[in-house]
Structure 1
Amino acid sequence: MLLFFQENCSPPTITLSPDESKHLIKVLRKQTGDEVIVTNGEGKLFHCLIQSPLPKGTSLKVIKEEEIPKLPFEIHLAICPTKSPDRMEWLVEKITEIGFDYIYLMKSENSERSFLKADRLEKKIIAACKQSLQFYKPEIKSDWTFEQIVTSPDFDGFQKFIAYVNENHQNHLLDLALKNRNYLILIGPEGDFSPNEIDSAISKGFAPVSLGKNRLRTETAGLTAVQMLQVANR
């Protein structure tokens, strides 16, 4: 299945963006009457026929519409951006393929980077959704501080975790993650969270967890956490 992406679309016709149209017409050589499958990133799947194959705005006629059920759990990853933006782009691409819902770009006391271009991450997410046939597009939340994350009422009722380097961790993430829950997990920078941040999170209901015996890079820790939460819901 070749999947195309178009936000804010609805029957009876869909007009693809110039980028999607160019790929459809110039690269794939699709023509009038050919079938195209489109998602809006919000769980809708549209089976369409090409009406006007224009590289700057192909028009499609919707012939069938499906509603893809959402999974009974959500994964929210709050992570401190790495110094290298390439490593964060790699992360969002891979966790999109695995499956997650929200990523919060968080600033902590030891953050290496305070600014990251969310539009580049957005493009990586859309491409990964299409490649891995994901019908719900994960969302990027920028400019959050550690304190905003740990005190936000948005996460009331979530299972909340903080992962950091500690040889004396009593619990592995897989030991504590319950099935079919909403999760928020905090991943710190290469310098890790400060002791004050760790104490603050724990005092606000975050469970300290290990991701394994090895010391992981920030982006590897983020990927590992998302994978483990998916495994917990297998």
Structure 2
Amino acid sequence: MKSPDTRFYVPNLVIGSQELSPDESSHAIRVCRAREGDGLNLTDGKGHFALGIVEKADAKCTQIRVEKIEDSPRPKPLLHLGIACLKDDANEEVALHVSEMEVGSITLFRTDHSEEPKDSNLQKVVRRSELKALVSLKQSMKAWLTEIRGPIPFDEWLKNYTGDIILCDLGGEKNLPPIKKETTLLVGPEGGFSPREINLVKNYQNGEMKILGLGETRLRARTAAIVGIGKLV
């Protein structure tokens, strides 16, 4: 019995027989060439793993049997990313790479300098970012799916947020101690947060605020997000 070196997403894992979605079925049968009797590694993105035995190999509707579900504790403390809405496919690129790491959520901000269309609700961007996060969940073999949130005005988010904050800035510390409680890394748009927004962050009162430097060169927002999270996980 072989098991493809990837995980398949089953949002509602249960003991017994169930069906894979059409997309997961196609990937299992056409790409991984799974056959009846083969084992598929499964996850629901909510902290559960299972081995599913293929009972019916169908590229449109594969049926599997699950005999045991294993729990995977959520990493503590939780690390999150808050990033301004960027242009083109930059937010999707960030979601793809950051979601490979143990990051609880990515929140998209509308900021003073963010570059998104102001008359758009950005639901296409959010949906595509969710799909990238799902791809990364399966590829990285994680137990927990990184949630995509927003878009939300930055001021509103900051007013309601409770937890520690780490702001990416050229003048920040190169190395910070390990995070000890729920923390959000903040990355502004191209050109950075506005002076008004930086002042709001520096006066944040609902947790500790630190500033993280990412080197001597100026990084693009998408690069800063990936490098910053990489330094904290």
Interval containing the TM-score (normalised by the shorter chain):
0.7 to 0.9
Matches for 1:135-150 after TM superposition, within 5 Å: 135-150=143-158
| CA distances 1:170-216 after superposition (whole Å, capped 9, x unpaired) | x41633x4344211121111121111111111112433432222111
State the distance in 2 between where 1:32 and 1:104 align.
Answer: 41
Name the CA distance, whole Å, in 1 between partners of 2:157 and 2:214: 20
User: Residues 122-161 of structure 1: matches in 2 within 5 Å?
Assistant: 122-152=130-160, 155-156=161-162, 158-161=163-166
Partner Cα separation in structure 1 for residue 167 and residue 100 of structure 2: 23
Partner of 1:172: 173
CA distance in 1, matches of 2:180, 2:49: 24
Q: Does 1:66 align with 2:74?
A: no
- Aligned to 1:79, which of 80, 83, 108? 83
What SS class does the counterpart of residue 9 from structure 1 fall into?
coil
Look up the match of 2:94. 91
User: 1:17: how far off?
Assistant: 0.4
- Deviation string, structure 1 residues 70-119 (Cα, Å, up to 9, x no partner): 2122111110122121x222221111223311100101101111435211
The root-mean-square deviation of aligned C-alpha atoms, in Å, is 1.7
Amino acid at match of 1:185: L
Q: Gaps spanning 5+ residues in structure 1: where?
A: none
User: In the alignment, what sits opposite 1:201?
Assistant: 201
| Count of residues in correspondence between the two structures | 221
Structure 2 residue aligned with 1:227: 230
Superposed CA offset, 1:139-183 (max 9, x none) = 00022111012111xx42x22122234xxx3x41633x4344211
The aligned residue for residue 103 of structure 1 is 106
Q: CA deviation at 1:41?
A: 0.5
The answer as to 2:21 corresponding to 1:17 is: yes
Q: 1:21 is paired with a residue of what secondary structure?
A: helix
What TM-score do you get using the length of structure 2 for normalisation? 0.88
Please list every run of 5 or more consecutive structure 2 residues that lacks an aligned counterpart in the other structure.
Answer: none
Contact 2:164 2:184 in 1 (8 A): yes
**What amino acid does structure 2 have at the position aligned with 1:143?**
P
Q: In structure 2, what is the Cα distance between the partners aligned to 1:49 and 1:2?
A: 15
Percent sequence identity is 27
- 2:31 is matched with 27
From the superposition, tell whether residues 173 and 137 of structure 1 become closer, same or farther in structure 2 (CA, over 3 Å). farther
Match 1:163 to one of 164, 168, 176: 168
Query: TM-score scaled to structure 1, two decimals?
Result: 0.87
Runs of 4+ in structure 1 displaced over 6 angstroms? none
Aligned to 2:99, the other structure's residue is in SS state: helix
Assess if the C-alpha contact under 8 Å between 1:172 and 1:212 holds in 2.
Answer: no
- 1:138: Cα distance to partner? 0.2
How far is 1:226 from its partner?
Answer: 0.6
